[in-house]
Structure 1
């Protein structure tokens, strides 16, 4: 690592600690030439995750859009915001762990529904009604019957 003071390329690590809740490593370094100390941070490089829309367009994954959809689904439910944020984190982590650089909106929607089904059934039905574009009450009924059938089988 290049010294920010004298530009020497040789430095040694004198201390390493976890930072940012384990998402990065803070390193204290000492320059071998001038002896001055400086701090660096090491983080995992995130490759962009691209979303393939229904019309074939590609856009960068937007975590805020995911979170807004989850919050909307959980509206007027007694669910703490930190649990909803944790669910968004879990979904994003699972999407990134696929190691795919591109993912379809269909895959994202299905994963969100799978996670919501175990998280909160009302939020699940709300999300499903928008995601699957329920046109009438019979579509709600079919989804509810499927949810009840799965619940009985557990």
Structure 2
């Protein structure tokens, strides 16, 4: 692996870890020439393109980074670690790639993202839902929050 600072071709691995449920290998590396430390990620390249069909019928290739940015935006200023969001994005992508067709509706991607956020952080879930479901007024927010409160109370009553 080339050193990003001095371009030496022989860097050494100082630590290796798996992440995203074992689907990614993270390596900390160090350049013996300049001492620069950096991180690389290794993952299997997926076969075939996964197409996302938008509401207006347009198709675009699935972009995991776009999904991750949406999750991150919903969690801004909340105590949600990045690795939790990366794992959520990986779970969503894995579910989508299991499908037979190579196409998925953008609504399905959004629904999966909302499920993940609902589990991770309720505030992030409401933020995402407000954009995704195009909340137009305060009553939409109130209805969604009431639904969350009702779910929480049902869980407490059952335990």
Gaps of 5+ in 1: 1-19, 25-42
Match in the other structure for 1:72: 73
CA positional deviation for 1:91: 1.1
* Equivalences, count: 118
Gaps of 5+ in 2: 1-16, 25-43
Q: TM-score, normalised by structure 2?
A: 0.68
Q: TM-score, normalised by structure 1?
A: 0.70
Q: Say whether 1:150 aligns with 2:151.
A: yes
Residues 101 and 128 (structure 1), Cα distance of their counterparts in 2 relative to 1, 3 Å cut: same
Q: Distance in 1 between matches of 2:23 and 2:129?
A: 33
Match in the other structure for 2:141: 140
Q: Distance in 2 between matches of 1:98 and 1:60?
A: 15
CA positional deviation for 1:149: 1.5
Structure 1 SS opposite 2:49: coil
Greater Rg by CA: 1
Q: Say whether 1:90 aligns with 2:91.
A: yes
Residues 71 and 23 (structure 1), Cα distance of their counterparts in 2 relative to 1, 3 Å cut: closer
Q: Distance in 1 between matches of 2:113 and 2:101?
A: 17
Q: CA RMSD in A?
A: 2.1
CA positional deviation for 1:100: 3.1
Match in the other structure for 1:56: 57
Deviations 1:10-64 (A, max 9, x none): xxxxxxxxxx95659xxxxxxxxxxxxxxxxxx5652211000111011100111
